[in-house]
């Protein structure tokens, strides 16, 4: 299966470099190039890519607004957005995740990291594991406007079984399936099954949105600084 990729960045050199890299891969194909967020949305609707690699800071329509439009379009439900940013300075990342993005990468990444990221989100997983990502997600998803009133015990996400809630809480803590399996004394396959069931029951796009729902429901709370 070929992964169809749309690149959205207003820096021509970045776009051309990424384009050449992706087109060299047997399992990836660039289906569109956008220089601003409006072009990204229009091209996404025209080409239905599997993954949109989206810069946040762009003219006309920024990547944040473009991500929200793409991820709210029911005809693009299978399209994943991978945001490019800088961990230390870009405080819009959590907004992008809440808008539906499946994860993000730093703009200083190497070729293999970019390709791995594209393949990861295309496969339905999320890029939420690095320590920098955990810190950022915890910090901004914990903001008062992002989280509703505290929910205690089994009142949080009642659609899920007790075991599924336990697994989702660990996902929200930034643990991988292997790490969760080790902690809960089950197999990684069992963890993956619980995650997929939770995604289906909560009608969210992917693992990234599962993390958002965990915070918004009060199932987990980030530590305040």
Q: Determine, yes or no, domain membership for 223.
A: no
Domain count, the chain: 2
Q: Determine, yes or no, domain membership for 84.
A: yes
Q: Determine, yes or no, domain membership for 81.
A: yes
Q: What is the pLDDT of residue 145?
A: 46
Q: Determine, yes or no, domain membership for 62.
A: yes
| Phi, psi dihedrals of residue 31, rounded to the nearest 5° | -105, -5
Q: What is the pLDDT of residue 57?
A: 84
Q: Determine, yes or no, domain membership for 35.
A: yes
Is 37 within 8 Å of 8 (Cβ atoms)? yes
pTM: 0.73
162-172 helix and 188-202 helix, angle to the nearest 10 degrees: 100
Instruction: Decide which of 93, 127, 161 is a domain's last residue.
Output: 127
Clarify whether residues 46 and 155 are in a common domain.
Answer: no
Q: What is the pLDDT of residue 150?
A: 43
Q: Determine, yes or no, domain membership for 44.
A: yes
Clarify whether residues 12 and 118 are in a common domain.
Answer: yes
Clarify whether residues 10 and 120 are in a common domain.
Answer: yes
Q: What is the pLDDT of residue 197?
A: 92
Clarify whether residues 93 and 15 are in a common domain.
Answer: yes
Q: Determine, yes or no, domain membership for 205.
A: yes
Clarify whether residues 83 and 188 are in a common domain.
Answer: no
Q: What is the pLDDT of residue 107?
A: 76
d(CA 176, CA 16): 33
Is 73 within 8 Å of 47 (Cβ atoms)? no
Clarify whether residues 150 and 103 are in a common domain.
Answer: no
| Phi, psi dihedrals of residue 178, rounded to the nearest 5° | -65, -40
Is 10 within 8 Å of 58 (Cβ atoms)? yes
C-alpha distance from residue 207 to each of 96, 139, 176 (Å): 14, 18, 11
CATH number of the CATH domain containing 172: 1.10.10.10
Residue 140: both structure tokens together: 């901004």
Clarify whether residues 204 and 176 are in a common domain.
Answer: yes
Clarify whether residues 12 and 123 are in a common domain.
Answer: yes
The residue range of the domain holding 123 is 3-127
Clarify whether residues 105 and 153 are in a common domain.
Answer: no
Per-residue pLDDT of the chain (225 residues; tens, 9 = 90+): 799 999 999 888 888 888 999 988 989 999 999 999 999 999 999 999 999 999 988 889 998 899 999 998 999 988 999 988 765 555 666 777 778 888 888 777 788 888 988 998 888 766 654 444 555 555 555 554 444 444 444 567 889 999 999 999 888 877 788 889 999 999 989 998 999 899 889 988 778 788 878 877 878 765 544
Clarify whether residues 7 and 118 are in a common domain.
Answer: yes
Clarify whether residues 106 and 153 are in a common domain.
Answer: no
Q: What is the pLDDT of residue 136?
A: 55
Clarify whether residues 167 and 111 are in a common domain.
Answer: no
């Amino acid at each position: 299966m070929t992964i169809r990729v749309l690149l959205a960045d207003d820096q021509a050199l970045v776009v051309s470099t990424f384009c050449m890299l992706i087109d060299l891969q047997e399992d990836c194909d660039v289906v569109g190039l956008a220089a601003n967020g409006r072009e990204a949305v229009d091209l996404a609707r025209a080409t239905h890519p599997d993954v949109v690699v989206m810069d946040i800071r762009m003219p006309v329509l920024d990547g944040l607004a473009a991500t929200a439009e793409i991820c709210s379009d029911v005809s693009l439900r299978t399209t994943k957005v991978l945001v490019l940013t800088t961990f230390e300075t870009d405080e819009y990342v959590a907004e992008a995740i809440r808008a539906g993005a499946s994860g993000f990468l730093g703009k200083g990444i190497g070729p293999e990291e970019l390709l791995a990221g594209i393949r990861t989100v295309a496969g339905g997983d999320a890029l939420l594991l690095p320590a920098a990502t955990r810190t950022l997600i915890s910090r901004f998803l914990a903001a008062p406007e992002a989280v509703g009133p505290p929910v205690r015990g089994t009142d949080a996400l009642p659609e899920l079984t007790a075991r599924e809630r336990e697994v989702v809480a660990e996902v929200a803590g930034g643990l991988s399936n292997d790490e969760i399996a080790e902690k809960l004394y089950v197999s990684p396959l069992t963890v993956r099954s619980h995650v997929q069931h939770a995604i289906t029951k909560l009608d969210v796009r992917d693992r990234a949105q599962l993390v958002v729902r965990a915070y918004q429901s009060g199932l987990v709370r980030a530590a305040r600084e």
